[in-house]
């Protein structure tokens, strides 16, 4: 069973004049949320419309309705779940698009249609390998054990036990509890999922190391056909360097001015964030002019997707980046702890993070200019915040499985569970107990 978190994104063109009708439908669906049981394996769904936008001052990018979900496990199974839970709603909204077939699609055809329309996205998860089912069970486990230990401490003898003895007592309590005993074992598929996620970056590194070794070896030996491997590493760097040089040329192009969103419109968007713990934001913007930006961004997003196992963005549950309209539009969506105004700060407040994210956002209209990709100009932070604001859109329909737990809560609950049945030193047990 795969525990890898993934993002599914698909979008259809619609006439801009139909946007109000689609938005009304999405608002209605938002008020009538599907039950969690019907969306097994799904963490989040954002469903919204985006109006036409202008690329490079001349090309009009079409209005779209965009559906984005975050899930764990198998893509096809997830699509089937979506079709079963939201089939009629999806059909009604899609019917506004000329890309949707005239005849009504049955569930199987609908699932095929969605898969066909889905696009690549670079996806990030802040609580890796946690399944939808284990969010609640791990939270209940921690809470139950906390109360149990709290009760035991009323007996002075319990508090004077060694850390190992206390851990054993906890493990016995978990084992004898029918709803928690299965949590004594590591989640099924976690090791396989980790290996799977590491496979791509691992292969890439191995390929590069092999290339380096072959290149070095070819100085002394004839490598025969293997000699071509020696060119992979230099070719890769050469290609990246070339792209960077071409990008530098694009960086000199002046971007057309953007319409800065009014305070009233922005207030309307952020006022929708009514959740006390988890909220969502969507930023959709055309790219800045320059044909190599599109290529550079596409390559960057694939590299980001490859190293996502190692990525860390604090307070973010999930995030994704993707290109639409032949790479001319960037979609960014994130679900995070607390409010978007604070969350957006997390990026610019840290020098390191703002540099990393410049690799993606520097290509997008409204975002500050950079040179050599990550070299920031003056007023970077102010312009960045202006960019986020100006291209933030209202999400008509937003579903979230978890409304109560922060990223740190989720990680903590998982770490507590994984500590069960693990051998630890007394000092580590003390730290583990602090997770309760």
Partner 1 sequence: MAAETINLIQDSELELHDMQGILIRGYGLLPEAKYLLLKFEDGNLARSYLQSLYMYITNGLAKPLEQAINIALSASGIKSLGIEENDFNTFLREFKEGMAEPHRQFVLGDEGEFSAEHWSWGNPSGEQVDALLMVFAHEHEYMEELLEREKKRMEKFGVKLIEALPTALLRDHKEHFGFRDDISQPIIKELAKSKGKGDFPAGEFFLGYKNLYDEHPLSPSVAEKEDPKGLLPVSYEDPSRRDLGKNGTYLVFRQMEQQVFRFWEYMRNQSTSEQEAILLASKMVGRWPDGSPLTLCPNNPNPEKSLENGFNYWNEDRYGLKCPIGAHIRRTNPRDHLVTETSAKDSEEMAAKHRMLRKGRPYGPPLDETLEPLDMMLKADDGKERGLHFICLVSDIRRQFEFVQNIWVNFHKFGGLNNDADPIIGNHFKEGELKTDEFSLPHYPVRKRFKNLPNFTRVRGGAYFFVPGMKAIKFLAKALE
**Which residues would be at the binding site for partner 1 (CB under 8 A)?**
146, 149-150, 153, 158-159, 161, 163, 166, 263, 266-267, 270-271, 274, 276-277, 312, 314-315, 337-339, 341-342, 345-346, 348-352, 378-382, 404-409, 411-412, 430-431, 433-434, 436
Distance CA 327, CA 338 (A): 31
Residue 137 near residue 143, CB atoms below 8 Å: no
Distance CA 54, CA 139 (A): 46
Phi, psi of 41 (to 5 degrees): 85, 0
In whole angstroms, how close is the CB of 339 to partner 1 at the nearest point? Answer: 6
Residue 326 CB burial class (10 angstroms; 0-12, 13-18, ≥19): exposed
What's the closest the beta carbon of residue 402 comes to partner 1, in angstroms? Answer: 12
Q: How far is the CB of 190 from partner 1 (least distance, A)?
A: 21
Residues 157 and 274: their CA atoms lie apart, in Å, by 46
Q: Which is nearer to partner 1, 24 or 162 (CB)?
A: 162
- How far apart are alpha carbons 281 and 395 in whole angstroms? 8
Min CB(148)–partner 1 separation in Å: 9
Of 188 and 408, which has the nearer Cβ to partner 1?
408
Nearer Cβ to partner 1 (96/380): 380
Closer to partner 1 by Cβ: residue 158 or 236:
158
Query: Is the Cβ of residue 188 or residue 379 nearer to partner 1 in the bound state?
Result: 379
Q: Who contacts 182 (Cβ-Cβ below 8 Å, separation ≥6)? A: none
Beta-carbon contacts of 308 under 8 Å, excluding residues fewer than 6 positions away, are 122, 123, 124, 125, 197
Q: How far is the CB of 240 from partner 1 (least distance, A)?
A: 27
Residue 75 Cβ, how far from partner 1 at the closest point, in Å? 30
Cα 233 to Cα 47, 214, 295: the distances in Å are 41, 10, 20
DSSP designation for 224: G
E strand segments, 213-315? 278-286
**Residue 153 vs 182, nearer CB to partner 1:** 153
What's the rounded Cα separation, in Å, for the pair 400 and 406?
13
- Residue 392 CB, nearest distance to partner 1 (Å)? 14
| CB nearer to partner 1: pick between 149 and 295 | 149
- In terms of CB distance, is 98 or 150 closer to partner 1? 150
Dist. CA 420–CA 336, nearest whole Å: 28
Number of Cβ within a 10 Å radius of residue 228: 12
Least distance (Å) between residue 381 CB and partner 1: 4
Q: Which one, 17 or 378, has the nearer CB to partner 1?
A: 378
Cβ 258 vs Cβ 390: under 8 Å:
yes
Distance CA 426, CA 195 (A): 30
Q: Which is nearer to partner 1, 222 or 263 (CB)?
A: 263
> Where do we find the tokens 């040329």?
249
Q: In whole angstroms, what is the distance from residue 243 CA to residue 399 CA?
A: 39
Tell the smallest beta-carbon distance from residue 426 to partner 1 (Å): 11
Which among 310, 304, 358, 313 is positioned nearest to 336, based on CA atoms?
Answer: 313
Both structure tokens of 400: 């979230």
Cα–Cα dist 366/386, whole Å? 7
| Distance in Å, CB of 356 to partner 1, minimum | 12
């Amino acid at each position: 069973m795969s525990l890898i978190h993934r993002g599914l994104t698909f979008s259809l063109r619609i006439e801009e004049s139909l946007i109000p009708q689609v938005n009304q439908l999405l608002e209605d669906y938002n008020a009538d949320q599907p039950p969690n049981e019907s969306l097994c394996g799904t963490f989040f769904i954002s469903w919204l419309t985006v109006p036409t936008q202008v690329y490079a001052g001349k090309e009009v990018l079409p209005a779209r309705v965009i559906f984005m979900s975050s899930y764990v496990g198998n893509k096809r199974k997830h699509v089937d779940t979506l079709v079963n839970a939201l089939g009629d709603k999806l059909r009604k909204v899609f019917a506004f698009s000329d890309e949707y077939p005239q005849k009504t699609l049955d569930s199987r055809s609908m699932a095929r249609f969605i898969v066909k329309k889905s696009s690549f996205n670079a996806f990030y998860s802040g609580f890796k390998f946690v399944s939808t089912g284990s969010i609640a069970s791990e939270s209940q486990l921690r809470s139950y054990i906390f109360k149990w230990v709290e009760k035991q401490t009323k007996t002075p003898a319990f508090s004077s036990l060694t850390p190992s003895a206390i851990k054993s007592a906890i493990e016995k309590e978990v084992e004898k509890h029918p709803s928690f005993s299965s949590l004594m074992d590591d989640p099924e598929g976690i090791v396989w999922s980790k290996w799977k996620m590491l496979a791509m970056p691992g292969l890439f590194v191995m390929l590069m190391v092999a290339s380096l070794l072959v290149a070095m070896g070819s100085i002394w030996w004839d490598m025969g056909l293997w000699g071509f491997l020696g060119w992979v590493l230099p070719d890769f760097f050469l290609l990246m360097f070339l792209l960077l040089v071409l990008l530098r040329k694009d960086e000199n192009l002046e971007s057309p001015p953007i319409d800065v969103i009014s305070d009233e419109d922005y207030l309307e968007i952020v006022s929708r964030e009514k959740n006390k713990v988890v909220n969502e934001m969507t930023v959709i913007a055309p790219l800045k002019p320059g044909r190599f930006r599109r290529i550079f961004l596409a390559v960057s997003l694939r590299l980001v997707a490859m190293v996502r196992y190692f990525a860390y963005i604090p307070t973010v549950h999930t995030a994704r980046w993707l290109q639409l309209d032949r790479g001319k539009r960037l979609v960014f969506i994130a679900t995070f702890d607390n409010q978007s105004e604070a969350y957006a700060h997390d990026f610019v407040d840290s020098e390191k993070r703002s540099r990393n994210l410049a690799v993606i956002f520097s290509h997008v209209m409204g975002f500050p200019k950079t040179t050599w990709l990550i070299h920031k100009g003056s007023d970077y932070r102010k312009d960045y915040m202006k960019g986020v604001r100006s291209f933030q859109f209202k999400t008509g329909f937003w579903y979230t499985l978890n409304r109560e737990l922060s990223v740190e809560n989720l990680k903590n609950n998982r770490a507590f569970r994984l500590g069960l049945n693990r051998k630890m030193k007394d000092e580590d047990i003390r730290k583990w107990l602090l997770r309760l």
